Amino acid sequence: MTKYKNVSLTKEIAKKIDKLSRELVPHGQLSRSKVIEIIVNEKLLNFNNSKEV
């Protein structure tokens, strides 16, 4: 068993992720998987914080 899973993306979403990969880190570029990881973690953090009332 590996610790990785694959996902399929539409071409439109892949282009958007590629754009984010260049914009999230100044003077660098992230992989698509790293961009997805950052976004998911950020959304989950926001979701959990909004439930803590």
Domain boundaries, the chain: 11-51
pLDDT of res. 53: 59
What is the pLDDT, as a whole number, of residue 26?
A: 86
Q: Is 17 within 8 Å of 24 (Cβ atoms)?
A: no
In the chain (53 residues long), the average pLDDT of successive 10-residue segments reads: 89 97 92 96 93 72
Kindly report whether the global pTM for this prediction surpasses the value 0.85: no
Residue appearing with tokens 């958007």 = 16
> 5: which 2 tokens?
């899973």
